[in-house]
Amino acid sequence: MPSLPAVMLHGLLKAKMEKINRTILAAGSLEEQVAAYRRELAIEVGKLVLGDYKAREEELGGRPATWILHDAFPDDRATVFLHGGGYVGGSVTYSRNQAYDIAKAAGQKVVSVDYRLAPEYPFPAAVEDILAVWRELLERGYQPDRLTLAGYSAGGGLALAGALAIREQGLPLPGALVGLSPWCDLTLNQITVKANNGKDIMISAEFLEMAARLYAGSQDRTNPLMSPLFGDLAGLPPILLQVAAEEILLGEVIAFADKANKSGVAVSLDIYDGMWHVWQSMDELVPEARNAMERVGTFIRTRGQ
């Protein structure tokens, strides 16, 4: 059973997101919907309270990036964090609290990357950005097994696709992968896309179709670097996946975990009842989110030891 704080917040978020989604989908053309979506994300950015933590902005792999740092963090370990937003929205500013949460939970540096977005930069721009970031981190002397690729939603799918691209380029793989409600299948053919549409209080099938159409364009959505569910997963590093039971993305995350397991990959799948898409970002309010982030932190800390 979900906690009382989770039940109360679920009701508040449901009403809020229904209004936001109506605003986005009623904006007009696809481009106008994207603009409305980006405006809503800009409104949602909260204040980051760093305390003893530091934020450092720089360019990494040719893209703007923000490091979350602390004097106690080891120099040789880091997590590359990829924000959500359906490949059409989001930024390091929008996701800074999520990056901060991972840094605290894992006890290591986190670098959040502003990868390019559709429709201005459709696939494979985002994947190319991750490859450029990965190459620069290796050039800086980071050992790949001391690095983790992690992300929420589309960023979670991009972390998984990024690992496939890294392997395809003949580069050494990261020590671990983390996908939090990851978007693994842009074909939208999984059964829960329809079954949970309306139950998922954060995203809708209509929004995902809009985002997938802009990111994929006329390209085949089964391309593994776009939809990692269709990739050869053998040889990938240990993976932690988290998803809520009522999410639209539930089916594809389960399918990805099953395929990874059958491919010999060490994969952990956490399914949370009564939660919603990327509930982990509510760790100050919901005990299930704190539990999820503790799981993430422990998983990252124990890789590459």
Q: Annotated active-site positions, please?
A: 153, 247, 277
Ramachandran class of 118: left when φ > 0, alpha when ψ lies in -120 to 50, beta otherwise: beta
User: Environment class of residue 93 by beta-carbon count within 10 Å: exposed (0-12), middle (13-18) or buried (19+)?
Assistant: middle
* DSSP 8-state secondary structure symbol assigned to residue 81: E
DSSP string spanning 30-60?
Answer: HHHHHHHHHHHHHHH------TT-EEEEEEE
CB of 65 closer than 8 Å to CB of 78: no
Strand, helix or coil for residue 269: strand
CB of 136 closer than 8 Å to CB of 80: no
Any idea what the Cα angle at residue 290 is, between residues 286 and 295, rounded to 5°?
145
> For residue 237, what are its two tokens?
């590093």
Q: How far apart are CA 107 and CA 97, in angstroms?
A: 15
How many helices (H) does the chain have, and how many strands (E)? 9, 8
Count CB neighbours of 222 within 10 A.
15
